[in-house]
């Protein structure tokens, strides 16, 4: 393999990794606060792509209006889901909450098939993203720097909210103990709702980038990226935002490199990505950046 | 009564009601049920929908056989092998289908075929092209040609008409259709050129993968004249798009499963120039039955029929023809009549089923031009 081909693969890996990272940080944040594996996260990604599609393709909104609108509406959807499917289950064993998340996931997928139809739709990509960039022999599709920039900016923003604001402080307190935090005078329901709004907005940003990268949207498009993002989050140490970011990029690069170095395994790259994951978890059960925490009584 | 008791009574009643509703009283006594299993959701949904356009039209044209009304029952197989087996089981056991049509997707058909074979109900495949769909099966037939032929047609066209010397093959390992076709194309290409080194790359992806940049970067490093990727249309559109974005300038070749509007909608400008093999084109004049079909189709749907619509139409008509010749709705008798199908003037060509139950027919080459599939030529078997 030549050097430029290697860098070509690396660029492709980063391109894919930015996507996983963006979806993973929202996933991991919700987990960090509620200890809830929000199974519907990938489907929220899908809904955002459709909202952006209808805004841009049906109502002919310019992308700079359609995309933020889609993010806003999806954040609203996240709040509705939290209010309707998760809040009533507060205080019951976590397994019920998880089951409810699975149900929301199936509901969104099947609703998507009914409302949007099962056939894929072509997503209108903003024209300025069509031109590839040439760096030496390496061709970088112009989506890549945009995706990396968006992922980094939103990552920075999320870290700021969680560590530098009052709401963020409440979120961190909640993650330790919901009841006690409530006793301290924090409106826990409101904070959790905000967390869901932020998580869903991040999923929405991921969904739009996903639709730009692979301009084919369908009601089941969120399933695999949702799983991959979950794996990226686990890889980085679930609940840890920085870990999810690193995990996302690592997973994206690893997937591409497996195909690059073992072309005969190209059809089974997911199997190999997951094998690596299992191996890593055997040696580091808490993921790359996760901390060991004592089980709550 | 306590709330719990009310609930219990209510549940029992609704259960009983649903049993009544699902019972055989749903249809008329003398109707003949033809089942259809097709992907109406999932990654192959477009193929299922195109096929159903033809099946519905055929049902309108011939709603009766043996003086009895035909009831058409469609079950979605969700583009999934396991669901396909369940769908066929449901058609036979619950709906009482005496013959079945389906399915777009060879893997779906192979899974469904096992169930039909055991139950002894004949199936007419509309577009599954992998040889294993009918091989060793007494009850599976098809209205289309098979992949050893289809692969050879494209290999021949690439070598003789396009002058391709170096080709890269990218197959979908999760689809029997794709794996088979890739192998048949490869075999024919080597035979035609006498040069095994002409296959400069042979790589793969899996259904559900959307990112082909790793495969494409490796393939493009070998400078192929053409990329042959016999998968499904959604993958094809993304693959073509990513290839063009990465600066690939050679030919992009596909097969019949790329024929869907989505290839062009999603592929955009990258779809232009794509060449595929297919079963039918309104301009190909494969049979005298084609023209009246095109007129009926345009009237009903306001668009030109695709190959899958034509095959769906043919599959239905072949089933009805077999029932008529059998003179009964006994599945075994229908199967025997179906096996003897000879010189049937179908829309996609004259159909005589061979000993495996496969149709031997012409293939057409289509090219994407100005956002449409244009007819390029016909290749005889």
HEC-encoded secondary structure of B204-220: EECCCCCCCHHHHHHHH
Q: Flag the least confident range among A240-244, B1-5, B102-106, B305-309.
A: B1-5
Q: Which DSSP letter does residue B328 get?
A: S
B285 interface with A at CB cutoff 8 Å: no
pLDDT at position A34 is: 86
pLDDT for residue B119 is more than 90: yes
Instruction: Determine the distance in angstroms separating the CA of B206 from the nearest CA of chain A, rounded to an integer.
Output: 5
Contacts of B53 in chain A (CB under 8 A): none
pLDDT at position B27 is: 53
Q: Which of the two residues, B208 and B270, has the higher pLDDT score?
A: B270
pLDDT for residue B6 is more than 70: no
Residues contacting A238, CB < 8 A, separation 6+: A28, A31, A32, A244, A287, A290
Nearest to A266 among B208, B215, B237 (CB): B215
Give the pLDDT band of residue B324 (cuts 50, 70, 90).
very high
Asked whether the beta carbons of B47 and B7 are under 8 A apart, the reply is no
* Residues A124-152 pLDDT 10s: 988 888 788 888 889 998 899 999 999 99
Contacts of B173 in chain A (CB under 8 A): 267-268
The total of other beta-carbon atoms located within 10 Å of residue A262's CB is 12
Give the pLDDT band of residue B231 (cuts 50, 70, 90).
very high
Contacts of A258 in chain B (CB under 8 A): 214
B200 interface with A at CB cutoff 8 Å: no
| CB within 8 Å: A119 and B245 | no
Q: Which DSSP letter does residue B170 get?
A: E
B38 interface with A at CB cutoff 8 Å: no
Share of chain A above pLDDT 90, in %: 69
Q: Which of the two residues, B342 and A132, has the higher pLDDT score?
A: B342
| B7-19: average pLDDT | 58
For chain B, strand residue ranges (E) read: 32-38, 64-65, 68-76, 99-101, 123-125, 140-142, 167-172, 199-205, 226-228, 251-254, 275-278, 344-346, 349-351, 363-369, 372-379
Contacts of A255 in chain B (CB under 8 A): 211, 214
Q: Flag the least confident range among A26-35, B2-11, B90-99, B114-123.
A: B2-11
Tokens 């963020």 label which residue? A168
pLDDT for residue B20 is more than 60: no
pLDDT for residue A110 is more than 50: yes
pLDDT for residue B230 is more than 60: yes
Cα–Cα distance between B369 and A38 in angstroms, integer? 45
* Residues A15-72 pLDDT 10s: 999 999 999 999 999 998 888 899 999 999 999 999 999 999 888 899 999 999 999 9
Asked whether the beta carbons of B357 and B140 are under 8 A apart, the reply is yes
Give the pLDDT band of residue B25 (cuts 50, 70, 90).
very low
pLDDT for residue A170 is more than 70: yes
| A235-239: average pLDDT | 90
Cα dihedral angle (B204, B210, B214, B216), rounded to 10 degrees? 70
| CB within 8 Å: A256 and B221 | no
Give the pLDDT band of residue B334 (cuts 50, 70, 90).
very high
Closest CA to B252 of B177, B183, B378, B158: B158
Asked whether the beta carbons of B277 and B255 are under 8 A apart, the reply is yes
pLDDT for residue A296 is more than 60: no
Q: Which of the two residues, B157 and A176, has the higher pLDDT score?
A: B157
* Residues B67-113 pLDDT 10s: 999 999 999 999 999 999 999 999 999 999 999 999 999 999 999 99
Closest CA to B318 of B66, B113, B67, B125: B125
Tokens 């369908």 label which residue? A218
| CB within 8 Å: A259 and B206 | no
Which CATH number, 3.30.530, 1.10.3470, 1.10.10, 3.20.20, labels domain A3-283? 1.10.3470
| CB within 8 Å: B234 and A139 | no
Residue in B217, B224, B267 to test binding to A, most A beta-carbons within 10 Å: B217
B234 interface with A at CB cutoff 8 Å: yes
Nearest to A12 among B209, B214, B241 (CB): B214
Which structural domains are found in chain B, ordered by start?
Answer: 25-145+286-361 (3.40.50.2300), 148-278 (3.40.50.2300)
Which one of A231-235, B26-30, B119-123 scores highest in mean pLDDT?
Answer: B119-123
* Residues A75-99 pLDDT 10s: 999 999 999 999 999 888 889 999 9
Cα–Cα distance between A49 and A55 in angstroms, integer? 10
| CB within 8 Å: A132 and B49 | no
Nearest to B245 among A113, A122, A141 (CB): A141
* Residues B182-213 pLDDT 10s: 999 999 999 999 999 999 999 999 988 999 99
Closest CA to A29 of A241, A211, A225: A241
Contacts of A270 in chain B (CB under 8 A): 206, 209
Q: In chain A, helix, strand, coil percent, each to 5? A: 75, 5, 20
Q: Which residue of B has its CA nearest to A132?
A: B245
B249 interface with A at CB cutoff 8 Å: no
pLDDT at position B42 is: 84
| CB within 8 Å: B262 and A120 | yes
| CB within 8 Å: A263 and B213 | no
Closest CA to A45 of A77, A13, A18: A77
Cα–Cα distance between A161 and B80 in angstroms, integer? 43
Contacts of B169 in chain A (CB under 8 A): none
pLDDT at position A130 is: 79
Considering only CB atoms, which residues of chain A are within 8 Å of chain B?
2, 5, 8-9, 12-13, 15-16, 113, 117-122, 130, 132, 139, 141, 213-216, 218-220, 224, 255-260, 263-264, 266-270
pLDDT at position A242 is: 95
Q: Which residue of B has its CA nearest to A228?
A: B209
Give the pLDDT band of residue B13 (cuts 50, 70, 90).
low
| CB within 8 Å: A260 and B214 | yes
Mean per-residue pLDDT over chain A, rounded: 91
* Residues A197-220 pLDDT 10s: 999 999 999 999 999 999 999 999
Give the pLDDT band of residue B339 (cuts 50, 70, 90).
very high
| B145-169: average pLDDT | 96
pLDDT at position B18 is: 54
Count of residues for chain A? 297
Contacts of A224 in chain B (CB under 8 A): 208, 210
Whole-Å CA distances, B123 to A223, B62, B114:
33, 19, 11
Tokens 């996903």 label which residue? A210
Give the pLDDT band of residue B2 (cuts 50, 70, 90).
low
User: What is the ipTM for the molecules in this complex?
Assistant: 0.89
Give the pLDDT band of residue B5 (cuts 50, 70, 90).
low
Instruction: Determine the distance in angstroms separating the CA of B362 from the nearest CA of chain A, rounded to an integer.
Output: 29
């Amino acid at each position: 393999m030549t050097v430029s081909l290697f860098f070509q693969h690396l660029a492709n890996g980063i391109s894919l990794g930015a996507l996983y990272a963006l979806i993973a940080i929202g996933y991991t944040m919700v987990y960090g606060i509620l200890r809830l594996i929000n199974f519907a996260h990938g489907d929220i990604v899908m809904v955002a792509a459709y909202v952006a599609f209808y805004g841009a393709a049906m109502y002919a909104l310019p992308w700079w209006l359609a995309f933020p609108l889609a993010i806003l509406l999806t954040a609203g959807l996240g709040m509705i889901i939290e209010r309707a499917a998760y809040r009533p289950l507060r205080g019951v064993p976590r397994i019920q909450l998880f089951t409810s998340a699975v149900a929301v996931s199936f509901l969104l997928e099947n609703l998507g098939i009914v409302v949007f139809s099962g056939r894929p739709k072509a997503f209108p990509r903003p024209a300025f993203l069509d031109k590839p960039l040439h760096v030496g022999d390496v061709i970088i599709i112009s989506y890549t720097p945009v995706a990396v920039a968006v992922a980094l900016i939103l990552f920075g923003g999320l870290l700021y909210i969680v560590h530098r604001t009052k709401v963020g402080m409440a979120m961190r307190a909640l993650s330790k103990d919901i009841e006690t935090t409530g006793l301290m005078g924090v409106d826990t329901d409101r904070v959790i709702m905000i967390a869901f709004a932020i998580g869903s907005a991040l999923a929405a940003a991921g969904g739009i980038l996903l639709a730009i990268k692979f301009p084919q949207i369908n009601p089941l498009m969120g399933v695999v990226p949702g799983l991959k993002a979950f794996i990226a989050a686990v890889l980085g140490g679930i609940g840890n935002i920085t870990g999810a970011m690193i995990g996302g990029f690592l997973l994206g690069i690893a997937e591409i490199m497996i195909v690059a170095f073992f072309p005969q395994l190209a059809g089974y790259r997911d199997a190999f990505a997951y094998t690596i994951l299992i191996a890593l978890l055997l040696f580091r059960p808490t993921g790359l950046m996760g901390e060991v925490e004592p089980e709550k009584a | 009564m306590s709330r719990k008791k009310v609930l219990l009574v209510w549940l029992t009643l609704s259960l009983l009601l649903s049993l009544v509703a699902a019972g055989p009283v749903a249809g008329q006594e003398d109707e003949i049920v033809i089942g259809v299993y097709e992907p109406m959701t999932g990654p192959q949904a477009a193929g299922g929908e195109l096929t159903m356009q033809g099946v519905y039209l055929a049902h309108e044209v011939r709603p009766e056989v043996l003086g009895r009304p035909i009831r058409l029952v469609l079950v979605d197989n969700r583009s999934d092998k396991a669901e396909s087996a369940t769908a066929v089981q449901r058609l036979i056991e619950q709906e009482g289908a005496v013959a079945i049509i389906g399915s777009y997707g060879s893997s779906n058909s192979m899974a469904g075929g096992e169930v039909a074979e055991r139950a002894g109900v004949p199936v007419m495949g509309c577009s599954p092209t992998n040889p294993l769909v009918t091989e060793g099966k007494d009850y599976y037939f098809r209205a289309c040609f098979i992949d050893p032929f289809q692969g050879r047609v494209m290999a021949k066209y690439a070598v003789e008409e396009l002058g391709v010397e170096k080709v890269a093959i990218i197959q979908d390992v999760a689809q029997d259709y794709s794996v088979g076709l890739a192998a048949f194309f490869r075999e024919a290409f080597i035979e035609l050129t006498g040069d095994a080194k002409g296959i400069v790359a042979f790589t793969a992806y899996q259904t559900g993968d959307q990112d082909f940049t790793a495969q494409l970067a490796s393939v493009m490093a070998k400078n192929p004249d053409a990329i042959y990727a016999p998968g499904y249309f959604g993958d094809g559109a993304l693959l073509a798009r990513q290839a063009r974005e990465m600066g690939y300038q050679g030919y992009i070749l596909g097969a019949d499963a790329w024929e869907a509007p989505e290839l062009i909608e999603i592929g955009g400008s990258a779809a232009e120039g794509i060449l595929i093999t297919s079963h039918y084109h309104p301009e190909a004049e494969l049979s005298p039955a084609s023209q009246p079909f095109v007129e009926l189709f345009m009237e009903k749907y306001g668009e030109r029929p695709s190959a899958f619509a034509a095959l769906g139409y043919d599959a239905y008509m072949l089933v009805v023809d077999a029932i008529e010749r059998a003179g009964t709705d006994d599945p075994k008798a229908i199967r025997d009549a179906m096996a003897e199908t000879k010189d049937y003037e179908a829309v996609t060509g004259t159909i005589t089923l061979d000993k495996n139950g496969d149709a031997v027919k012409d293939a057409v080459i289509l090219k994407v031009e100005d956002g449409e599939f244009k007819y390029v030529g016909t290749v005889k078997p």
